[in-house]
Structure 1
Amino acid sequence: MTKRTQTLFPGLVAAHSMMLSDTALPADGASGRWIMLLPIGSFSGRDGRGPYSVDGMDGMQAVIAATAQRAGSADLVVDYDHQTQFAAVPGVGGQAPAAGWIKQLQARADGLYGLVEWTAKAAQSIRAEEYRYISPVYQHDKSGRVLRLISAGLTNVPNLDLAAVAASAQPNQEHDMKAIAAALGLSEDADENAILTAINSVLTGNAAIAAAAGLPASAKPTEIVTAIQSARGEVDPTRFVPIEQVTALQTGLKTLQAKIEGEEAETAVNRAITEGRLAPALKNWGLDLHKKDPAAFKAFADASPVLTATQRAGVTPPVAGSETELTSEDLAVMSQMGLSKEAFLKAKKGGDA
C-alpha cells in the first residue's frame, strides 16, 4: 500500500478511518452533511504509524489552503475502499466510482470537517451499514505534520481508533447546533449558513451598540450592558450641554453683538460729523450704513471733503409749504455727498424727524 501510494503522490501519504453513523447522511431536503475528516492535535494509527499532527486552527487553515491549491476547481472524491489509489492506476486504467464529493472544508475547534455530498448508492450503503467508516487520505512531511488532503474513502477496516470521537461528536454537534439555532431565534432545522448569518448579524449589532456606548467594537456583551446601565439617566457634563442653555447663550451673543455694532456705529458717525465729513442731517443714514458695512462707511467718510462751519452748524429752513426748496447750504451738502435732490430731501427729512 505504501509503495503504490508514493508513486501516485509526492511525499508521504497516510490514511486513517473514523466511524460513520446516520448523522453523516443529509437530512431531507439538504444537499450534504458535514463530517470530521481529521482530528486536531496529535494522533496515531492502530498499526503503529504516526504520530501525525494538525497543529491548531492555523494548522487546519494551512491544510485547507494547500488542499485547495492542489485540487484547483475540482472537488475531492470520496471513493470506496481507496479504489482511487489502488484500482485506478495512471496509464493502466481501472474503475474507481465515487461514493461522494467533498464540496467544502472547514476548520473547527475539534478538527477538520468536510461537507460531503453522497451519491444515492453510497447513502444507501451507509444506511444499510454496508460501510461504517470514513478514511481520509492525506500527505504529510517526515515529522508527521499533515500537509494536505488528497481524497477520502468509505471503508470497513479502520486504522485510526476515533470511533468513539466520531460517534459521540456527531450527535452532540447536532444537539449543539439546534441549541444555537434556538438561542438565535431560528428553527431547529436551520442550516449552518443561516446560523452563521444570524451570528454575524448579532456581532454587527453588538459592535454598533458598543460604539454608541463609547466602547471598542470588541467589547464583551457584559461590558456593553454595564456601560449602558451606568449611563442610564445620567448625562456627562463634559460632553453634553442642555439645549436651553445653548439657546440662551446664542440669544445673549446676538444681543451683545448688536450692542457692540450700535456703539461702534454711533462713535464712527459722531466722529465723522465732528470732523465735518458728514452732514448732521445724514446721521441716521450714516448709522445704518455703518451697521451694515463698516468698511463702506469708512471709505465714504475718508473720501468726503470737509464741510464748512456753516454747513456743520445746520441748514436754513425752507420756505413754508415748499419742502422741495433747497438752501445754498443744502446744495453744498448735496455736492459734497454726491446725492440727488430726491435722495437728499429723503435723508434730510429722516434726520429732522
Structure 2
Amino acid sequence: MSISNFHTTPPALPAFNVSTALLASEVPAGAAGAAPEWIKITPRGTADTRDGRVYLFDPEKLVARFKADAIDLATDIDHALALRATKGEKADAIGWVKELKAQPDGTYARVEWLPAGKATLAARTHRYVSPTFHHTEAGEATWIHSVSLVAAPALNMPALASALPGGPGEAPATVRQALGLDAIADDAACLAAIGELRAAFVPIGLFNDAVATLNAANGTIAELRSTDRKRKVGELIEGALRAFKITPAQRAQYEALCQTEAGFTHVATLFANTTPMFQPSGLDQRRPDTGNALETPEMLAARAARYREAQAAAGLALTHAEAVRALTSNPSLGR
C-alpha cells in the first residue's frame, strides 16, 4: 500500500522517552469511501525531525514486540490517550489495531474501526495518522503505544508540539520534583530513583498478611503478660496477707495499684519496708512456739503467779491480768 506526504515534528510525552505526533501521514481512502483496513504508521529506517533529532524505525522489531505483548493497540483522536488520559481526562478509543505487518517501506497496522472512528474518517475532519511510540536514548523506536488520527500533518501542529517541551532523555520538571531530584536530573537518574522506590515496594496483600500476623502475635504476647502479671500480683498480695502486713479488706486496693509495672514495683517496695501489724492471735488453734509442749491455761496461770511473786520481790506490784499480758508477749518470762 502506498502512502504519501510523510512528515515529522518533535514533541515528547511526559513519560520517559516516549514521543507523540512525531509522524503524520494521510489516511488513504478505502473502497467506496469506506474506512481503510490497513494504514501505514511508521516509515522504515531513520526519520529526521525539524529540530535536527533523528529517530530510527525497525518494522520487524516493532511487529515482534506487538506480538510478544499480545495486546491490541488503541486508535484515538489527537493523541487523547497519550495527552489527556494520563491527566485523568476522558479519552476514548475509536478503533483497535489487531495486527502489525513489516513492509519494505515501513510498519503497517490492521485496524478494526469503531463507529466513532468510521464517522471521523467519513467526515474527513482528521485525515492524518500519527503514532505514539517509546524509544531508546539513541532514538530507536522500541514499541508502539497508540495510533492517532490528527487534523493536520505534524509540521502544521505547533500547539501540540509546544505543549510538550523537552527532547529525548530530558525528564519533565514535575517528575524530577516528585522524585526529589535536582533540576539537571535526566531520564537515567529518574529511572534509577523509580527503581529504588520499586525495590522498596511491598505488595499490599503481603503487607496486610504481615500486619494480621503481627496483630495476632501482639495479642498473644499481651495475653501472656496479663496472665503472668496476675500470677505475680497474687503471690505478692498473698505474701503480704500471710505476713500480717495488710488486711483482707485492703486486697482489692493493692491489686488495683499493681495493674501497671510501675505500680507493681511500688507496692512490692512498700510491702518490703512494712512491719507486720499483728502478733499471732491463736485463733487458728495454734500458740506461739515456746520451745516446749503447748501451754495449758493452768500452766499459764501458774507461770503468771510465779512471775508476779518475782516482780513483787523486786518491788513491782502487778495484777494477774498484767502478768498474763507480759507472759504472752514474752513466753520466756516466769519460767
Q: Would you say same fold, with TM above 0.5?
A: no
Decide which structure has greater helix share.
1
TM-score by length of 1: 0.37
Given the two structures, how large is their TM-score scaled by the length of structure 2?
Answer: 0.39
